[in-house]
């Protein structure tokens, strides 16, 4: 027997099941970064998940990792997201907004001509997709110490907008070498001020941003995404276990309610660092843990049977299967979406996948 599909109550939220929609960037907003009816339909179609977490939502135009990503850097973006939350709530779902700053993994064309920012000056190898097509990553400049309170304020104000938009909580994106994660890791953080050097210093920005978000939402509606053993964008930390043990201890001290824990490299591998058992972090964390990365039905059932996570997140399987919860419950075949439709475009490959009932399949 499993409770994966059973209703539960976690941190005061009544969930339909223990399945989460993992954040999935789909780049369907307009150029002003506004969500609208298309996003509302997309998320509502997937509202049978116990918890939906939105695509990474930038807190400033220069924090975008590409064009056509719906943001929360402007009051003008609140009404579009309100369409999304109203549609999800009408279907009985719950939805968190994932707040994000891409850091060096952005481009000046997305930030009004300003260069991307990072904990330390560096240039990311490779290319980023922009409105004018693929372009090389640019030299990112190091944030000045006196600029950091402004970054914290960007997250706080975005959290206020998320509340005005009707979300049920927010998740701080602190993974995958984006700005917060880049401060955490010693490969990308070479600072010598209060935000660099020791683990405590490198975690300072994360802690300050969390405090700002909690001042708006309270700890029980605040989540954090971490990828302790991920190597996104060729970045890593020389000794991740003590770093992320400290981070989780700080989450506990702040009474953060949710930990979205990515196991391995997102979409690539579930392999962990040698000798680093992520279950240590799960056992240490006092809130709700969402296990994330390349889970299928069998792995999810096994995780709940062994109680190695409180919830299980699914990402790409939700793209082609809006009724993924039902398909997993009934163990029916899954639709595999065409990767060419993951990003950009309109309804095709986004909201045009039929449910089992719409396809005339009797379970």
Q: How long, in residues, is the chain? A: 363
- Residue 257 tokens read as 């309610």
- Residue 102 tokens read as 């891409």
Nearest-angstrom CA–CA distance, 194 and 145: 8
Nearest-angstrom CA–CA distance, 188 and 121: 9
Q: Round the CA-based radius of gyration of the chain to a whole number and report it.
A: 19
The reply to whether 178 belongs to the active site is: yes
CB 49 within 8 A of CB 17: yes
Nearest-angstrom CA–CA distance, 127 and 314: 27
Catalytic residue, from 178, 295, 343, 350: name it: 178
Residue 12: Cβ within 10 Å count: 9
- Residue 178 tokens read as 């984006």
Residue 132: Cβ within 10 Å count: 9
Residues designated as active site = 178
């Amino acid at each position: 027997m499993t409770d994966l599909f059973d209703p539960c109550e976690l941190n005061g939220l009544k969930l339909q099941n223990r399945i989460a929609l993992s954040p999935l960037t789909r780049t369907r907003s307009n150029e002003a970064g506004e969500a609208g009816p298309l996003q509302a339909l997309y998320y509502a179609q997937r509202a049978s998940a116990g918890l939906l977490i939105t695509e990474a939502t930038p807190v400033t135009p220069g924090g975008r990792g590409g064009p056509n990503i719906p943001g929360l850097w402007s009051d003008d973006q609140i009404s579009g997201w309100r369409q999304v939350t109203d549609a999800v709530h009408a279907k009985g779902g719950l939805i968190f907004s994932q707040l994000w700053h891409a850091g060096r993994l952005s481009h000046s064309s997305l930030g009004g001509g300003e260069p991307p920012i990072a904990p330390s000056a560096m240039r990311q190898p490779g290319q980023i997709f922009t409105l004018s097509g693929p372009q090389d990553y640019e030299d990112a400049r190091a944030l000045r110490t006196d600029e950091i309170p402004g970054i914290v304020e960007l997250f706080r104000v975005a959290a206020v907008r998320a509340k005005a938009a009707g979300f049920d909580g927010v998740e701080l994106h602190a993974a995958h070498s984006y700005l917060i994660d880049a401060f955490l890791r010693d490969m990308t953080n070479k600072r010598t001020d209060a935000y660099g050097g020791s683990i405590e210093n490198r975690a300072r920005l994360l802690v300050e941003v969390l405090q700002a978000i909690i001042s708006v939402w309270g700890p029980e509606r605040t989540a954090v995404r971490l990828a302790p053993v991920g190597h996104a964008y060729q970045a890593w930390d020389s000794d991740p276990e003590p770093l992320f043990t400290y981070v989780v201890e700080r989450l506990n001290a702040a009474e953060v309610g949710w930990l979205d824990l990515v196991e391995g490299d997102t979409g690539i591998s579930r392999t962990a660092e040698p000798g680093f058992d992520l279950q240590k972090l799960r056992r240490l964390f006092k809130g709700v843990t969402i296990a994330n990365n390349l889970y299928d039905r069998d792995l999810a059932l096994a995780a709940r049977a062994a109680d190695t996570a409180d919830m299980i997140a699914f990402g790409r399987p939700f793209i082609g299967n809006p009724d993924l919860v039902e398909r997993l419950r009934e163990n029916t075949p899954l639709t595999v979406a065409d990767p060419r439709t993951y990003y950009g475009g309109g309804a095709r490959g986004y909201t045009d996948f039929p449910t089992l009932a719409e396809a005339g399949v009797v379970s």
